[in-house]
Chain A
Amino acid sequence: MNVLIDKFDVFAGGFWLTLQICILAAIGALILGAIVAVLRISPVPPLRAVGTSYVNVFRNMPLTVVMFFAAFGLPALGSNADFLRIPVIDSLFTRLGTDLPYFRFALIALVLYTAAFVCEALRSGVNAVPAGQAEAARSLGLTFGQNLRHVVLPQSWQASVVPLGSVIIAMIKNSALAGFFGVVGDLSATADQLTGAEGYAFVPVAIGISIGYLIMTVPLGALLDRIEKRQAVAR
Protein backbone atom coordinates (compact mmCIF):
# COMPACT_ATOMS: atom_id res chain seq x y z
CA MET A 1 0.00 0.00 0.00
CA ASN A 2 3.06 2.26 0.08
CA VAL A 3 2.16 3.53 -3.34
CA LEU A 4 -0.60 5.63 -1.79
CA ILE A 5 1.96 7.50 0.30
CA ASP A 6 4.93 7.44 -2.07
CA LYS A 7 2.90 8.62 -5.03
CA PHE A 8 0.50 10.85 -3.15
CA ASP A 9 1.39 13.81 -5.33
CA VAL A 10 0.55 11.80 -8.47
CA PHE A 11 -2.83 10.84 -7.04
CA ALA A 12 -3.45 14.40 -5.94
CA GLY A 13 -2.55 15.70 -9.39
CA GLY A 14 -4.89 13.17 -11.00
CA PHE A 15 -7.64 14.15 -8.61
CA TRP A 16 -7.19 17.83 -9.40
CA LEU A 17 -7.29 17.24 -13.15
CA THR A 18 -10.39 15.04 -12.95
CA LEU A 19 -12.03 17.66 -10.74
CA GLN A 20 -11.26 20.31 -13.37
CA ILE A 21 -12.82 18.23 -16.13
CA CYS A 22 -15.88 17.63 -13.98
CA ILE A 23 -16.39 21.25 -12.99
CA LEU A 24 -16.10 22.47 -16.56
CA ALA A 25 -18.19 19.62 -17.97
CA ALA A 26 -20.90 20.13 -15.34
CA ILE A 27 -21.16 23.84 -16.14
CA GLY A 28 -21.21 23.16 -19.87
CA ALA A 29 -23.74 20.33 -19.60
CA LEU A 30 -26.07 22.35 -17.38
CA ILE A 31 -26.06 25.27 -19.81
CA LEU A 32 -26.42 23.15 -22.96
CA GLY A 33 -28.94 20.84 -21.29
CA ALA A 34 -31.08 23.84 -20.26
CA ILE A 35 -31.04 25.14 -23.83
CA VAL A 36 -32.04 21.74 -25.22
CA ALA A 37 -34.79 21.45 -22.59
CA VAL A 38 -36.22 24.83 -23.61
CA LEU A 39 -36.18 23.64 -27.24
CA ARG A 40 -37.98 20.44 -26.28
CA ILE A 41 -40.84 22.22 -24.52
CA SER A 42 -41.05 25.15 -26.93
CA PRO A 43 -44.38 25.80 -28.67
CA VAL A 44 -42.61 25.85 -32.07
CA PRO A 45 -42.64 22.34 -33.62
CA PRO A 46 -39.30 22.59 -35.56
CA LEU A 47 -37.48 23.68 -32.38
CA ARG A 48 -39.08 20.78 -30.49
CA ALA A 49 -37.88 18.41 -33.21
CA VAL A 50 -34.31 19.70 -32.87
CA GLY A 51 -34.38 19.23 -29.09
CA THR A 52 -35.89 15.76 -29.34
CA SER A 53 -33.38 14.65 -31.99
CA TYR A 54 -30.51 15.89 -29.85
CA VAL A 55 -31.68 13.86 -26.88
CA ASN A 56 -32.33 10.80 -29.02
CA VAL A 57 -28.84 10.89 -30.48
CA PHE A 58 -26.77 11.63 -27.39
CA ARG A 59 -28.76 9.73 -24.81
CA ASN A 60 -28.71 6.56 -26.89
CA MET A 61 -25.10 6.59 -28.04
CA PRO A 62 -22.41 5.05 -25.80
CA LEU A 63 -20.15 7.72 -24.30
CA THR A 64 -17.15 5.82 -25.67
CA VAL A 65 -18.43 6.37 -29.19
CA VAL A 66 -19.02 10.08 -28.50
CA MET A 67 -15.43 10.26 -27.19
CA PHE A 68 -14.18 8.58 -30.38
CA PHE A 69 -16.03 11.10 -32.51
CA ALA A 70 -14.60 13.98 -30.49
CA ALA A 71 -11.03 12.68 -30.36
CA PHE A 72 -10.81 11.50 -33.98
CA GLY A 73 -13.68 13.23 -35.77
CA LEU A 74 -12.84 16.80 -34.76
CA PRO A 75 -9.18 16.60 -35.93
CA ALA A 76 -10.40 15.03 -39.18
CA LEU A 77 -12.58 18.08 -39.63
CA GLY A 78 -9.52 20.24 -38.97
CA SER A 79 -10.61 21.46 -35.54
CA ASN A 80 -8.53 21.53 -32.41
CA ALA A 81 -11.48 22.90 -30.45
CA ASP A 82 -9.54 26.11 -29.98
CA PHE A 83 -12.76 27.98 -29.16
CA LEU A 84 -12.44 26.46 -25.69
CA ARG A 85 -9.24 28.41 -25.03
CA ILE A 86 -11.35 30.94 -23.18
CA PRO A 87 -9.32 33.82 -21.73
CA VAL A 88 -9.23 34.08 -17.91
CA ILE A 89 -10.89 30.65 -17.54
CA ASP A 90 -7.89 28.98 -19.22
CA SER A 91 -5.55 30.54 -16.68
CA LEU A 92 -7.48 28.78 -13.90
CA PHE A 93 -8.05 25.55 -15.83
CA THR A 94 -4.65 25.46 -17.53
CA ARG A 95 -5.31 22.38 -19.65
CA LEU A 96 -7.87 24.29 -21.69
CA GLY A 97 -5.08 26.28 -23.23
CA THR A 98 -2.51 23.56 -23.96
CA ASP A 99 -1.46 22.68 -27.49
CA LEU A 100 -2.47 19.04 -27.01
CA PRO A 101 -6.23 19.21 -27.66
CA TYR A 102 -7.34 16.01 -25.92
CA PHE A 103 -8.52 17.70 -22.73
CA ARG A 104 -10.76 19.92 -24.82
CA PHE A 105 -11.98 16.98 -26.92
CA ALA A 106 -12.88 14.94 -23.83
CA LEU A 107 -14.65 17.94 -22.37
CA ILE A 108 -16.73 18.41 -25.52
CA ALA A 109 -17.73 14.73 -25.57
CA LEU A 110 -18.67 14.76 -21.89
CA VAL A 111 -20.70 17.96 -22.26
CA LEU A 112 -22.58 16.77 -25.36
CA TYR A 113 -23.38 13.42 -23.80
CA THR A 114 -24.36 14.68 -20.34
CA ALA A 115 -26.47 17.56 -21.69
CA ALA A 116 -29.01 15.05 -23.04
CA PHE A 117 -29.54 13.68 -19.52
CA VAL A 118 -29.58 17.17 -17.98
CA CYS A 119 -32.30 18.10 -20.46
CA GLU A 120 -34.44 15.16 -19.42
CA ALA A 121 -33.93 15.83 -15.70
CA LEU A 122 -35.00 19.46 -16.19
CA ARG A 123 -37.96 18.38 -18.29
CA SER A 124 -39.14 15.93 -15.64
CA GLY A 125 -39.19 18.89 -13.25
CA VAL A 126 -41.17 20.99 -15.70
CA ASN A 127 -43.67 18.15 -16.07
CA ALA A 128 -44.07 18.10 -12.28
CA VAL A 129 -45.56 21.63 -12.39
CA PRO A 130 -49.34 21.29 -12.87
CA ALA A 131 -50.25 22.14 -16.47
CA GLY A 132 -53.02 24.44 -15.23
CA GLN A 133 -50.49 26.93 -13.86
CA ALA A 134 -48.82 27.37 -17.25
CA GLU A 135 -52.30 27.68 -18.73
CA ALA A 136 -53.23 30.37 -16.21
CA ALA A 137 -50.02 32.25 -17.02
CA ARG A 138 -50.78 32.07 -20.73
CA SER A 139 -54.29 33.32 -20.21
CA LEU A 140 -52.90 36.36 -18.36
CA GLY A 141 -50.97 37.19 -21.53
CA LEU A 142 -47.51 36.08 -20.40
CA THR A 143 -45.29 35.07 -23.32
CA PHE A 144 -43.63 31.64 -23.47
CA GLY A 145 -40.40 33.06 -22.07
CA GLN A 146 -42.12 34.96 -19.25
CA ASN A 147 -44.16 31.87 -18.44
CA LEU A 148 -40.97 29.79 -18.10
CA ARG A 149 -39.12 32.43 -16.13
CA HIS A 150 -41.77 33.51 -13.66
CA VAL A 151 -44.07 30.51 -13.31
CA VAL A 152 -42.73 27.18 -14.55
CA LEU A 153 -38.96 27.13 -13.92
CA PRO A 154 -39.01 28.46 -10.32
CA GLN A 155 -41.27 25.55 -9.44
CA SER A 156 -39.69 22.87 -11.63
CA TRP A 157 -36.30 23.55 -10.05
CA GLN A 158 -37.33 21.78 -6.83
CA ALA A 159 -38.40 18.64 -8.66
CA SER A 160 -35.28 18.71 -10.86
CA VAL A 161 -32.55 19.04 -8.24
CA VAL A 162 -32.33 15.40 -7.19
CA PRO A 163 -32.41 13.84 -10.69
CA LEU A 164 -29.92 16.52 -11.83
CA GLY A 165 -27.59 15.54 -9.02
CA SER A 166 -27.72 11.92 -10.13
CA VAL A 167 -26.85 12.98 -13.65
CA ILE A 168 -23.82 14.92 -12.40
CA ILE A 169 -22.64 11.99 -10.26
CA ALA A 170 -22.89 9.74 -13.30
CA MET A 171 -20.93 12.33 -15.25
CA ILE A 172 -18.12 12.39 -12.68
CA LYS A 173 -17.77 8.63 -13.02
CA ASN A 174 -18.03 8.82 -16.81
CA SER A 175 -15.14 11.28 -16.84
CA ALA A 176 -12.87 8.29 -16.15
CA LEU A 177 -13.09 7.51 -19.88
CA ALA A 178 -11.16 10.69 -20.67
CA GLY A 179 -7.92 9.06 -19.57
CA PHE A 180 -8.27 6.55 -22.39
CA PHE A 181 -8.75 9.25 -25.03
CA GLY A 182 -5.47 11.03 -24.69
CA VAL A 183 -5.99 13.07 -21.53
CA VAL A 184 -2.74 12.63 -19.64
CA GLY A 185 -2.75 12.70 -15.87
CA ASP A 186 -6.39 12.47 -14.79
CA LEU A 187 -7.34 9.89 -12.15
CA SER A 188 -7.92 7.00 -14.54
CA ALA A 189 -4.81 7.74 -16.61
CA THR A 190 -2.88 7.89 -13.33
CA ALA A 191 -3.90 4.32 -12.58
CA ASP A 192 -2.78 3.22 -16.00
CA GLN A 193 0.55 5.01 -15.62
CA LEU A 194 1.33 3.66 -12.14
CA THR A 195 0.38 0.03 -12.83
CA GLY A 196 1.54 -0.19 -16.45
CA ALA A 197 4.65 1.93 -16.78
CA GLU A 198 5.84 2.01 -13.17
CA GLY A 199 4.87 -1.55 -12.18
CA TYR A 200 2.93 -0.92 -8.98
CA ALA A 201 0.43 -3.57 -7.84
CA PHE A 202 -3.02 -2.99 -9.26
CA VAL A 203 -5.20 -3.26 -6.13
CA PRO A 204 -3.59 -0.49 -4.03
CA VAL A 205 -3.59 1.84 -7.02
CA ALA A 206 -7.23 1.03 -7.74
CA ILE A 207 -8.05 1.81 -4.11
CA GLY A 208 -6.24 5.11 -4.45
CA ILE A 209 -8.13 6.27 -7.51
CA SER A 210 -11.43 4.99 -6.08
CA ILE A 211 -10.89 7.22 -3.07
CA GLY A 212 -10.33 10.09 -5.48
CA TYR A 213 -13.68 9.57 -7.19
CA LEU A 214 -15.50 8.94 -3.92
CA ILE A 215 -14.25 12.27 -2.53
CA MET A 216 -16.15 13.92 -5.36
CA THR A 217 -19.28 11.78 -5.54
CA VAL A 218 -20.11 10.91 -1.91
CA PRO A 219 -20.45 14.49 -0.61
CA LEU A 220 -22.55 15.36 -3.66
CA GLY A 221 -24.83 12.40 -2.93
CA ALA A 222 -25.10 13.40 0.75
CA LEU A 223 -25.97 16.95 -0.27
CA LEU A 224 -28.75 15.64 -2.51
CA ASP A 225 -30.15 13.52 0.31
CA ARG A 226 -30.32 16.62 2.50
CA ILE A 227 -32.05 18.67 -0.20
CA GLU A 228 -34.54 15.86 -0.73
CA LYS A 229 -35.31 15.62 3.01
CA ARG A 230 -35.75 19.36 3.31
CA GLN A 231 -38.17 19.33 0.37
CA ALA A 232 -40.13 16.47 1.94
CA VAL A 233 -40.54 18.49 5.14
CA ALA A 234 -41.50 21.65 3.27
CA ARG A 235 -44.30 19.82 1.50
Chain B
Amino acid sequence: MDDVTTGEPLIVLDAVNKWFGPLHVLDDVSLSVGRGEVVVVIGPSGSGKSTLCRTINRLEPINSGTITFDGQPLPAEGKPLAQLRSEVGMVFQSFNLFAHKTILENVTLGPIKVRKEKPAAARERGLALLDRVGIANQADKFPAQLSGGQQQRAAIARALAMQPKAMLFDEPTSALDPEMVGEVLEVMTSLASDGMTMVVVTHEMGFARHAANRVIFMADGQLVEDAPPAEFFANPRSERARDFLSKILTH
Protein backbone atom coordinates (compact mmCIF):
# COMPACT_ATOMS: atom_id res chain seq x y z
CA MET B 1 0.00 0.00 0.00
CA ASP B 2 2.94 2.29 0.55
CA ASP B 3 4.17 2.31 -3.00
CA VAL B 4 1.59 4.40 -4.75
CA THR B 5 1.61 3.92 -8.49
CA THR B 6 3.23 6.80 -10.27
CA GLY B 7 2.34 8.29 -13.63
CA GLU B 8 -0.52 10.53 -14.58
CA PRO B 9 -2.95 11.05 -11.69
CA LEU B 10 -6.47 9.63 -12.15
CA ILE B 11 -8.42 12.50 -10.55
CA VAL B 12 -7.28 16.12 -10.68
CA LEU B 13 -9.15 19.07 -9.19
CA ASP B 14 -7.71 22.44 -10.06
CA ALA B 15 -8.82 25.64 -8.28
CA VAL B 16 -12.37 24.38 -7.82
CA ASN B 17 -14.90 26.83 -6.38
CA LYS B 18 -18.49 26.18 -5.51
CA TRP B 19 -21.14 28.29 -3.84
CA PHE B 20 -24.48 27.25 -2.36
CA GLY B 21 -26.09 30.68 -2.58
CA PRO B 22 -23.89 32.95 -0.44
CA LEU B 23 -22.10 29.96 1.14
CA HIS B 24 -18.64 29.37 -0.31
CA VAL B 25 -18.67 25.61 0.13
CA LEU B 26 -15.54 24.81 -1.90
CA ASP B 27 -12.89 27.52 -1.75
CA ASP B 28 -10.18 27.19 -4.36
CA VAL B 29 -9.67 23.47 -3.83
CA SER B 30 -6.88 21.73 -5.73
CA LEU B 31 -6.19 18.05 -5.31
CA SER B 32 -4.83 15.18 -7.31
CA VAL B 33 -5.38 11.51 -6.67
CA GLY B 34 -3.03 8.98 -8.22
CA ARG B 35 -4.02 5.60 -9.60
CA GLY B 36 -4.36 3.06 -6.82
CA GLU B 37 -4.21 5.76 -4.19
CA VAL B 38 -6.55 5.83 -1.19
CA VAL B 39 -7.35 9.36 -0.04
CA VAL B 40 -9.37 9.88 3.11
CA VAL B 41 -11.10 13.23 3.53
CA ILE B 42 -11.87 14.34 7.07
CA GLY B 43 -13.04 17.54 8.66
CA PRO B 44 -15.79 19.07 10.75
CA SER B 45 -19.34 18.92 9.44
CA GLY B 46 -20.10 21.66 6.95
CA SER B 47 -16.48 21.80 5.84
CA GLY B 48 -17.37 20.81 2.27
CA LYS B 49 -15.92 17.30 2.28
CA SER B 50 -19.09 15.58 1.03
CA THR B 51 -19.53 18.24 -1.63
CA LEU B 52 -15.93 17.70 -2.72
CA CYS B 53 -16.61 13.99 -3.08
CA ARG B 54 -19.81 14.61 -5.06
CA THR B 55 -18.17 17.00 -7.53
CA ILE B 56 -15.88 14.24 -8.78
CA ASN B 57 -18.75 12.48 -10.62
CA ARG B 58 -20.59 15.76 -11.10
CA LEU B 59 -23.50 14.99 -8.81
CA GLU B 60 -22.65 18.55 -7.77
CA PRO B 61 -21.71 20.93 -10.58
CA ILE B 62 -18.98 23.46 -9.79
CA ASN B 63 -18.90 27.22 -10.35
CA SER B 64 -15.27 27.60 -11.42
CA GLY B 65 -12.08 25.60 -11.78
CA THR B 66 -11.58 22.30 -13.59
CA ILE B 67 -11.89 18.65 -12.73
CA THR B 68 -10.35 15.99 -14.91
CA PHE B 69 -10.84 12.26 -14.62
CA ASP B 70 -8.44 9.91 -16.38
CA GLY B 71 -7.07 12.80 -18.42
CA GLN B 72 -10.48 14.06 -19.61
CA PRO B 73 -12.34 17.11 -18.25
CA LEU B 74 -15.71 16.12 -16.75
CA PRO B 75 -18.44 16.32 -19.42
CA ALA B 76 -21.21 18.82 -18.60
CA GLU B 77 -24.23 16.65 -19.32
CA GLY B 78 -25.91 14.01 -21.45
CA LYS B 79 -24.48 10.70 -22.65
CA PRO B 80 -20.80 11.63 -22.10
CA LEU B 81 -21.57 12.48 -18.46
CA ALA B 82 -23.46 9.20 -17.98
CA GLN B 83 -20.48 7.41 -19.52
CA LEU B 84 -18.10 9.10 -17.06
CA ARG B 85 -20.31 8.28 -14.11
CA SER B 86 -20.36 4.63 -15.11
CA GLU B 87 -16.59 4.61 -14.58
CA VAL B 88 -16.73 6.16 -11.11
CA GLY B 89 -18.36 4.06 -8.40
CA MET B 90 -20.21 5.93 -5.68
CA VAL B 91 -21.30 4.73 -2.25
CA PHE B 92 -23.68 6.91 -0.26
CA GLN B 93 -24.26 7.46 3.42
CA SER B 94 -27.86 6.24 3.14
CA PHE B 95 -27.09 3.27 0.83
CA ASN B 96 -29.71 4.38 -1.74
CA LEU B 97 -30.44 0.84 -2.91
CA PHE B 98 -33.36 0.56 -5.34
CA ALA B 99 -36.19 -0.42 -2.99
CA HIS B 100 -38.29 -2.24 -5.62
CA LYS B 101 -35.47 -4.49 -6.82
CA THR B 102 -33.79 -7.46 -5.18
CA ILE B 103 -30.19 -7.19 -4.04
CA LEU B 104 -28.98 -9.09 -7.11
CA GLU B 105 -31.11 -6.92 -9.42
CA ASN B 106 -29.62 -3.84 -7.76
CA VAL B 107 -26.17 -5.13 -8.60
CA THR B 108 -26.97 -6.15 -12.19
CA LEU B 109 -29.07 -3.15 -13.29
CA GLY B 110 -26.06 -1.02 -14.26
CA PRO B 111 -24.14 -3.75 -16.11
CA ILE B 112 -27.27 -4.79 -18.05
CA LYS B 113 -28.67 -1.36 -18.91
CA VAL B 114 -25.53 0.76 -19.14
CA ARG B 115 -22.88 -1.75 -20.22
CA LYS B 116 -25.37 -3.87 -22.22
CA GLU B 117 -24.05 -7.06 -20.68
CA LYS B 118 -26.00 -10.29 -21.13
CA PRO B 119 -28.28 -10.79 -18.10
CA ALA B 120 -26.92 -14.27 -17.39
CA ALA B 121 -23.31 -13.05 -17.41
CA ALA B 122 -24.20 -10.01 -15.30
CA ARG B 123 -25.97 -12.21 -12.76
CA GLU B 124 -23.02 -14.55 -12.50
CA ARG B 125 -20.61 -11.66 -11.91
CA GLY B 126 -23.11 -10.00 -9.56
CA LEU B 127 -23.29 -13.13 -7.44
CA ALA B 128 -19.49 -13.33 -7.33
CA LEU B 129 -19.39 -9.71 -6.11
CA LEU B 130 -22.06 -10.35 -3.48
CA ASP B 131 -20.00 -13.32 -2.37
CA ARG B 132 -16.94 -11.09 -2.16
CA VAL B 133 -18.75 -8.65 0.17
CA GLY B 134 -20.16 -11.59 2.14
CA ILE B 135 -23.88 -11.41 1.34
CA ALA B 136 -24.35 -13.92 -1.48
CA ASN B 137 -27.06 -15.60 0.59
CA GLN B 138 -29.12 -12.37 0.55
CA ALA B 139 -29.18 -12.07 -3.25
CA ASP B 140 -32.92 -12.59 -3.68
CA LYS B 141 -34.06 -10.42 -0.78
CA PHE B 142 -35.23 -6.83 -1.02
CA PRO B 143 -33.14 -4.03 0.51
CA ALA B 144 -35.61 -3.42 3.34
CA GLN B 145 -35.09 -7.01 4.55
CA LEU B 146 -31.36 -6.47 5.14
CA SER B 147 -29.49 -4.86 8.01
CA GLY B 148 -27.79 -1.53 7.42
CA GLY B 149 -24.37 -3.10 7.17
CA GLN B 150 -25.59 -5.66 4.65
CA GLN B 151 -27.31 -2.93 2.62
CA GLN B 152 -24.14 -0.88 2.49
CA ARG B 153 -22.11 -3.90 1.40
CA ALA B 154 -24.70 -4.52 -1.32
CA ALA B 155 -24.32 -0.88 -2.38
CA ILE B 156 -20.54 -1.37 -2.63
CA ALA B 157 -21.10 -4.50 -4.76
CA ARG B 158 -23.50 -2.50 -6.96
CA ALA B 159 -20.83 0.13 -7.57
CA LEU B 160 -18.11 -2.49 -8.18
CA ALA B 161 -20.29 -4.27 -10.73
CA MET B 162 -19.59 -1.42 -13.16
CA GLN B 163 -15.85 -2.22 -12.87
CA PRO B 164 -15.10 1.41 -12.06
CA LYS B 165 -11.71 3.04 -12.30
CA ALA B 166 -12.25 4.75 -8.96
CA MET B 167 -14.63 4.54 -6.01
CA LEU B 168 -16.07 7.48 -4.09
CA PHE B 169 -17.35 6.87 -0.55
CA ASP B 170 -19.50 9.62 0.98
CA GLU B 171 -19.59 8.85 4.72
CA PRO B 172 -20.32 5.16 4.09
CA THR B 173 -20.56 4.20 7.76
CA SER B 174 -22.22 7.28 9.27
CA ALA B 175 -25.75 5.87 9.08
CA LEU B 176 -24.83 2.46 10.53
CA ASP B 177 -25.30 1.02 13.98
CA PRO B 178 -21.89 0.77 15.66
CA GLU B 179 -21.69 -3.01 15.49
CA MET B 180 -22.09 -2.92 11.70
CA VAL B 181 -19.38 -0.38 10.97
CA GLY B 182 -16.65 -3.02 11.10
CA GLU B 183 -18.06 -5.27 8.39
CA VAL B 184 -18.29 -2.37 5.92
CA LEU B 185 -14.80 -1.06 6.73
CA GLU B 186 -13.45 -4.56 6.24
CA VAL B 187 -14.79 -4.65 2.67
CA MET B 188 -13.35 -1.19 2.02
CA THR B 189 -9.97 -2.15 3.43
CA SER B 190 -9.79 -5.20 1.20
CA LEU B 191 -10.70 -3.04 -1.81
CA ALA B 192 -7.93 -0.61 -0.88
CA SER B 193 -5.35 -3.35 -0.64
CA ASP B 194 -6.46 -4.69 -4.04
CA GLY B 195 -5.29 -1.39 -5.50
CA MET B 196 -8.62 0.38 -6.08
CA THR B 197 -8.37 4.16 -6.34
CA MET B 198 -10.56 5.50 -3.54
CA VAL B 199 -11.72 8.84 -2.20
CA VAL B 200 -13.31 8.27 1.20
CA VAL B 201 -15.14 10.89 3.24
CA THR B 202 -15.37 9.46 6.73
CA HIS B 203 -15.17 9.99 10.45
CA GLU B 204 -13.51 6.60 10.97
CA MET B 205 -10.05 7.60 12.09
CA GLY B 206 -8.97 3.97 12.42
CA PHE B 207 -9.65 3.40 8.72
CA ALA B 208 -7.80 6.60 7.85
CA ARG B 209 -4.78 5.47 9.87
CA HIS B 210 -4.40 1.99 8.47
CA ALA B 211 -5.88 2.11 4.96
CA ALA B 212 -5.16 5.59 3.62
CA ASN B 213 -2.15 6.73 1.63
CA ARG B 214 -3.05 10.35 2.31
CA VAL B 215 -5.34 12.22 4.65
CA ILE B 216 -6.96 15.44 3.48
CA PHE B 217 -8.21 17.76 6.19
CA MET B 218 -10.88 20.26 5.15
CA ALA B 219 -12.37 23.20 7.03
CA ASP B 220 -14.68 25.98 5.83
CA GLY B 221 -14.49 24.82 2.24
CA GLN B 222 -10.70 24.94 2.15
CA LEU B 223 -8.24 22.12 1.82
CA VAL B 224 -6.16 22.79 4.93
CA GLU B 225 -3.82 19.80 5.13
CA ASP B 226 -2.71 17.00 2.86
CA ALA B 227 -0.35 14.51 4.49
CA PRO B 228 0.32 10.81 5.00
CA PRO B 229 -1.83 9.51 7.87
CA ALA B 230 1.04 8.82 10.28
CA GLU B 231 2.32 12.34 9.87
CA PHE B 232 -1.12 13.94 10.00
CA PHE B 233 -2.24 12.21 13.17
CA ALA B 234 1.11 12.63 14.95
CA ASN B 235 1.90 16.20 13.91
CA PRO B 236 -1.03 18.13 12.47
CA ARG B 237 0.43 21.37 11.17
CA SER B 238 -2.60 23.64 11.33
CA GLU B 239 -4.34 24.93 14.41
CA ARG B 240 -7.74 23.84 13.03
CA ALA B 241 -6.61 20.27 12.44
CA ARG B 242 -5.14 20.09 15.96
CA ASP B 243 -8.39 21.43 17.34
CA PHE B 244 -10.46 18.95 15.32
CA LEU B 245 -8.32 15.97 16.32
CA SER B 246 -8.38 16.93 19.97
CA LYS B 247 -12.16 16.94 19.88
CA ILE B 248 -12.57 13.52 18.26
CA LEU B 249 -9.62 11.61 19.68
CA THR B 250 -9.95 12.42 23.38
CA HIS B 251 -13.16 10.41 23.81
User: Could you tell me which A residues sit within 8 Å of B by CB distance?
Assistant: 43, 130, 132-133, 135-143, 146, 150-151, 154-155
Q: Which residue of B lies closest to A151 (CB)?
A: B98
A136 and B98 within 8 A (CB): yes
Q: How far is the CA of A125 from the CA of B132 in the complex (A)?
A: 36
User: Could you tell me which B residues sit within 8 Å of A by CB distance?
Assistant: 57, 59, 77, 79, 82-90, 92, 94, 96-100, 109-110, 113-114, 155, 158-159, 162
Q: How far is the CA of A48 from the CA of B19 in the complex (A)?
A: 24
A146 and B97 within 8 A (CB): no
A140 and B96 within 8 A (CB): no
A140 and B77 within 8 A (CB): no
Q: How far is the CA of A151 from the CA of B162 in the complex (A)?
A: 17
B96 and A136 within 8 A (CB): yes
A155 and B85 within 8 A (CB): no
Which of A43, A130, A132, A133 has the most chain B CB atoms inside 10 A of its CB?
A133
B99 and A133 within 8 A (CB): yes
A138 and B85 within 8 A (CB): yes
Q: Which residues of B contact A140 (CB under 8 A)?
A: 85-86, 109-110, 114, 158-159, 162
B96 and A135 within 8 A (CB): yes
Q: Which residues of A contact B85 (CB under 8 A)?
A: 138-141
Q: 6 pairs across A/B with beta carbons < 8 Å? A: A130-B94, A135-B59, A139-B59, A141-B85, A142-B82, A150-B109
A143 and B99 within 8 A (CB): no
Q: Which residue of A lies closest to B79 (CB)?
A: A143
Q: Which residues of A contact B83 (CB under 8 A)?
A: 141
A217 to chain B, nearest CB (A): 31
A141 and B92 within 8 A (CB): no
Q: How far is the CA of A141 from the CA of B81 in the complex (A)?
A: 8
